[in-house]
Amino acid sequence: MTPVYVFILVPVLEILLPHDTSNYEGDTRAQKEASPLFDWMLYANIPIIYGLLLTTLITLTTTPLNTYELVGLVFSLGIVLGSNGINVGHEMGHRKNPVERFFAKLLLLPSFYMHFYIEHNFGHHLHAATKEDPATAGYNQSVYSFWFTSVTRQYVNAWRIQKKLLRTEGASFFSLKNDMFWYTILQLLYAIAVWQFFGFAGLGYAVGAGIAGFLLLETVNYIEHYGLLRHKLPSGRYERVKEIHSWNSNHVMGRIVLYELTRHSDHHYKSSRKYQILNYHDTSPQMPYGYPTSMVLSLLPPLWFRIMNPLIPKNMLPTG
């Protein structure tokens, strides 16, 4: 039922419920930012993720199931790994607290996407809305093409960034400070642990759920910056990232289930801002539908292009 909830129920509710363009101000904003409740809502996803992972793998490997039930459970687990795992890990990966950054990596682990921490924070936020960014979808690029280019280029780019960070610190590529080595080892140990406890079948289910999880993330990446481009300055550098370089959505349901990720324009404008106080900017390009609905539409490229292409600012369209 998870796919039904995410891709049918939530989109229907998004259409029925009103948009909310309000921003928090003054004391209310300060209270929201300081409230530990919003942090604990993030932390709660760790036992949720690993609890569901464990119970689902037990069910998949010990209970006689029909094929559609196996597929449904793996896909449902993947949706949770993507939305409550990678998405929440993304939020905590921007925090300065080292414990929260550790939690971020813990949530990325079951999707085999720990390199996202490096590429997103040191790559995507620097290059967003440029052709140099693997996570920015080009004009008329289908989501299926984007899945391949983004997944492969982000992984390669994460290693490139890691080598650059090591050089900056004067450390060797084989240094213990090479986080990409640690991510590889930890993900391998995770896979071995699943195999030991649940066999090859369980490992296959875990890998399948992980792939579904990171493809869900990449579908979100696809709609967040589709067709938007920053301009190069006479110096050869790009203009700074502004609120006009990400698609924004104020649809209430998407905002709730994705921890305000849909106010992505403000997130890129100031990445250190906590999710509960992200702002709406009326200058940001607005999605006609919420993020969950837009993800469904993106799976139908001709329909997606027909809806979104006319909304891309004219000065960002490719020339020639």
Residue spans of the domains in the chain: they are 2-313
Residue 247: per-residue pLDDT: 95
Residue 105: per-residue pLDDT: 97
Residue 15: per-residue pLDDT: 86
Residue 320: per-residue pLDDT: 57
- The token pair at 292 is 């969950």
Residue 319: per-residue pLDDT: 75
Residue 217: per-residue pLDDT: 96
Residue 318: per-residue pLDDT: 83
Residue 195: per-residue pLDDT: 98
Residues of the chain with pLDDT under 70: 320
Report the predicted TM-score, pTM, of the whole model to 2 decimal places: 0.94
CB contact at 8 A, 291 and 260: no
Q: In whole angstroms, give the CA distance from residue 31 to residue 29.
A: 5
Q: Which residues contact 298 (CB under 8 A, 6 or more apart)?
A: 143, 219, 222, 223, 226, 304
